[in-house]
Amino acid sequence: MKFRRKSAGPGVDDLEAAADAPEAGPAAPAVGPFDVDELPEDGVERVDLGSLLIAPEDGRELRLQVDETTGEVQSVMLAGSDGAVELRAFAAPRGGDLWSDVRPRIAADMAQHGGVATEREGRFGTELLCQLTVNRGDGTTGTQPSRIIGINGPRWMLRATLLGRPAIDVDNAAEWEDTITRIAVRRGGAAMPVGDLLPVTLPANARRIDEPPTANA
């Protein structure tokens, strides 16, 4: 009886199998929205607004919605020629699903104001298609469509409200959805009640557009 010593290295069959195996392609790019602590090195220069880091885009204007009574920034908006997306981030429980809790409340509030909110499955999960009757200011009324997307992150929830064409033509709104995937959220370490709005801060060189320019501007 003959014994054959087992080779410590790979056998011929192993080498042939390795040669036939397909080469691994490049890794797929990371897709957000991101937590700021997990932000990939994607080369994107984002505007730091405290809780939200926004990637500027050609043809879209970055606007801040400010509460006139408190002076606090309530939301961030990217507006283009065919629509806009309003962005807000909220404190959420660790590992929780705040969007599932908030969604029926939004729908109930919409109904209370005479509107309708319908759930649909979209790119980011369950979202709301809303129709609200609004006064135009000239004595007539019209319907304002919106599309509300909620995304749960680590101890935060991002709420993105699409307005205009991306709220109506949902099958051709990929570019606006891509905008959401480039956003980063900074939760911060401070304790906050669940559902509180994460603070947005103005960049050091920002000024209100209704302020008169300075002498050296």
Q: Compute how many other C-beta atoms are within 10 angstroms of the C-beta atom of residue 184.
A: 24
Q: Does the pLDDT value for residue 97 go beyond 60?
A: yes
pLDDT-based confidence at residue 138 (cuts at 50, 70, 90): confident
For 103, 113, 137, 157, 164, the CA distances from 134, given in Å and listed in that order, are 21, 10, 9, 28, 14
| pLDDT given for residue 203 in this prediction | 75
Q: Does the pLDDT value for residue 217 go beyond 50?
A: no
- The domain containing residue 103 runs over which residues? 48-185
* Beta-carbon contacts of residue 83 (< 8 Å; ≥ 6 apart): 162, 163, 164, 165, 166, 167, 176
The residue-averaged pLDDT of 200-207 equals: 73
Q: Does the pLDDT value for residue 213 go beyond 50?
A: no
Residue 54 lies in a domain: yes
| SS3 label, residue 136 | coil
The residue-averaged pLDDT of 152-174 equals: 97
What angle is formed at CA 195 by the lines to CA 189 and CA 200, rounded to 5 degrees? 60
Q: Does the pLDDT value for residue 187 go beyond 70?
A: yes
| pLDDT given for residue 142 in this prediction | 82
% of the chain at pLDDT higher than 70: 80
- Among residues 194, 206, 154, which one has the least CA distance to residue 36? 154
Report whether 199 contacts 50 (CB < 8 A): yes
Q: Euclidean distance between the first and final Cα of the chain, in Å?
A: 95
Residue 17 lies in a domain: no
Residue 197 lies in a domain: no
Q: How is 157-183 classified by DSSP, letter by letter? A: EEEEEEEEHHHH-GGG-HHHHHHHHT-
Residue 107 lies in a domain: yes
pTM above 0.75, yes or no: yes
| pLDDT given for residue 210 in this prediction | 46
The residue-averaged pLDDT of 62-83 equals: 91
Residue 36 lies in a domain: no
Residue 140 lies in a domain: yes
Q: Does the pLDDT value for residue 2 go beyond 80?
A: no
Residue 85 lies in a domain: yes
Give the type of residue at 32: G
| pLDDT given for residue 143 in this prediction | 87
The residue-averaged pLDDT of 102-108 equals: 97
Report the mean per-residue pLDDT for the chain: 85
CATH of the domain at 115: 3.40.1000
pLDDT-based confidence at residue 19 (cuts at 50, 70, 90): low
Residue 168 lies in a domain: yes
- The total of structural domains in the chain comes to 1
Q: What is the rounded CA–CA span in Å between residue 197 and residue 76?
A: 12
pLDDT-based confidence at residue 3 (cuts at 50, 70, 90): very low
| pLDDT given for residue 151 in this prediction | 97
